[in-house]
Amino acid sequence: MKQAPGSREKERRPGKSQKWEFRLYVTDQTPKSRLAIANLKRICEEHVPANYRIKVIDLLEKPHLAKRDHILVVPTLIRIMPEPVRTLIGDLSNIERALTGLDLRLRVPREAM
């Protein structure tokens, strides 16, 4: 079935009723781990509706969880919901790249419209 022009575009934008769920794998309170946590919170506050959940998993405390999501490097972010699952590696400092990897759109400032 062929989609109407622009229909895919609408599906990819965060919706108010859409649930967003993230798992962020880190190790202890290293600088990269703290930066990844702060960057993810900022991304969610600025680009995802209020309906999101972040679960931070410290692999020093729960190393067995790394196997479940095939974690080899930290920090690693997994977007569980909405599907499809997306995985990003790193501290999310490159916001534009993180938004692309999470399949989010950059917000255009109102004054630019």
The CATH number assigned to the domain holding 23 equals 3.40.30.10
**3-state secondary structure (DSSP) of residue 112:** helix
What domain count does the chain have? 1
Mean pLDDT, residues 61-90 taken together: 94
Q: What is the pLDDT of residue 3?
A: 44
Write down the H helix ranges in the chain. 7-12, 31-47, 65-68, 95-101
Mean pLDDT, residues 57-86 taken together: 94
Q: How far is residue 105's CA from residue 99's CA, in Å, rounded to a whole number?
A: 6
Residue 113 lies in a domain: no
**3-state secondary structure (DSSP) of residue 79:** strand
Are 39 and 92 spatial neighbours (Cβ–Cβ below 8 Å)?
yes
pTM of this prediction exceeds 0.85:
no
Give bridge partners of residue 18 from the DSSP assignment. none
The parent domain of residue 36 ranges over: 17-104
Residue 27 lies in a domain: yes
pLDDT digits (tens, 9 = 90+) for 6-58: 444 444 455 556 899 999 999 998 999 999 999 999 999 999 877 899 999 99
Residue 58 lies in a domain: yes
Are 60 and 27 spatial neighbours (Cβ–Cβ below 8 Å)?
yes
Residue 91 lies in a domain: yes
Q: What is the pLDDT of residue 9?
A: 41
Residue 39 lies in a domain: yes
Residue 70 lies in a domain: yes
Residue 110 has what DSSP assignment? G
Residue 1 lies in a domain: no
Mean pLDDT, residues 54-74 taken together: 94
* Burial grade of 113 (CB within 10 A; 0-12, 13-18, 19 or more): exposed
pLDDT digits (tens, 9 = 90+) for 81-111: 999 999 999 999 999 999 999 988 654 444 4
Residues in the chain, overall count: 113
Residue 11 lies in a domain: no
